[in-house]
Each structure stands twice: as structure tokens, then as C-alpha cells.
Amino acid sequence: MMLKTLLIWTALGVTGSALAAPNLVRHADLDLATARQLADAALTHCTGALTVLDRGGNVLAAMRPESVGPHNLLASQRKAYTALSTKTPTRLFAERARTNPEAANLNSIAELLLLGGGVPLFAGNELVGALGLAGAGGAEQDEACAIKAAEQIGLKTQR
């Protein structure tokens, strides 16, 4: 009788702990080591301020060479945030916004910057973060540098 009771309580305890642990979705995350690799790769292709964000929009790395104006660091962060939140390279997003009258007010959202140079970062089809560059010679150069850096370390900038 005592053994039966013990087995029943053990079974209930195992069942209860299985129900208490939800089956959560697992995501790939950028880490600091990967952010450093990305920053190093970017700086081999251009001289500009850069910001690497993780999938939650948190800054993992931010750098500004002495020769680049200080405003570019904030611009790189806003470009990265725009790319992350829209899952779209910022130059493409800016072009779409200019041609869509309903998107005209996007410029009023302080965190967004509708200039080229920000790219979302994908591992496979999963968004893992974003890279923003500013001050490398214009929006087209900023974007080209960001794309090369991402490709160099094996990340995609589009799904």
C-alpha cells in the first residue's frame, strides 16, 4: 500500500513538472563574438561608424573611427534598428516609403532612419539581428559595406 502511494505521488510529480514547462520556440541569437567578427569584416571594407543589434534591438557592438563624424554613430544605430524592425534593407525601405503616400509619416518616428546603410541579418530564414553603417561615403556605400560584411561571416541580408 505504501509503495503504491509513493508511485502515484511520483507519477503525479513527473506529470506536473512536464506540464509546468511550456514548449517554447527556440531562436538563433547573435552573440558578442559574432558581432565583433561582423564589425571587423565591415571595417575591412569601409571606414564608417557601425552598430550591430541582436534580434531584440539591443546594441552588441558600436564603433566609430576617429575620422568619421560623431553623428554617424547614432545614424548607424537608427539604420540598424530600422532594418531590424522592418526586416528590410533601409535603402529599399526608404525607396518604398517615398513612393507610397501612406508611408509619408514614417519619417516622424524618431527611431527610424530612412537612409541606406542598414541591413537585417538572417541565419537561414531566421532574423537574428541587424547591422547599420553610416559615414562611409553615402547611403549606397554604407549599404554595400554592410552587405559585404554580412556575407563575409556567412549571414544573409534578405530571406
Contact 52, 40 (CB under 8 A): no
Any idea which residue has 507610397 for its cell?
A: 100
Grid cell listed for 50: 557601425
**Is the model's pLDDT at 7 over the cut of 70?**
no
- Please tell me which residue, 27 or 154, carries the higher pLDDT value: 154
pLDDT tens profile 110-132: 899 999 999 999 999 999 999 99
pLDDT tens profile 36-68: 999 999 999 999 999 999 999 999 999 999 999
SS3 61: strand
Question: Which pLDDT does position 36 carry in this prediction?
Answer: 97
Instruction: Tell me how far apart the alpha carbons of residues 42 and 51 are, in angstroms, rounded to a whole number.
Output: 10
Residues whose CB falls within 8 Å of the CB of residue 142, separated by 6 or more in sequence, listed in order: 46, 48, 79, 115, 116, 117, 133, 134, 135, 136
**Is the model's pLDDT at 20 over the cut of 90?**
no
Contact 60, 35 (CB under 8 A): yes
Q: What is the pTM of this model?
A: 0.84
Task: Give the CB-side neighbour count of residue 36, counting CA atoms within 13 A.
Answer: 3
Q: What's the chain's average pLDDT?
A: 90
Length of the chain (residues):
159
pLDDT tens profile 22-38: 888 888 889 999 999 99
Instruction: Tell me how far apart the alpha carbons of residues 30 and 54 are, in angstroms, rounded to a whole number.
Output: 6
1-5, 31-35, 102-106: which range is least confident on average?
1-5
Q: Which of 129, 104, 158, 127 is nearest to 32 (CA)?
A: 129
pLDDT tens profile 128-146: 999 999 999 999 999 999 9
Question: Which pLDDT does position 47 carry in this prediction?
Answer: 94
Question: Which pLDDT does position 28 carry in this prediction?
Answer: 87
**Is the model's pLDDT at 6 over the cut of 70?**
no
Residue-range domains of the chain with CATH? 30-152 (3.30.450.150)
Contact 93, 54 (CB under 8 A): no
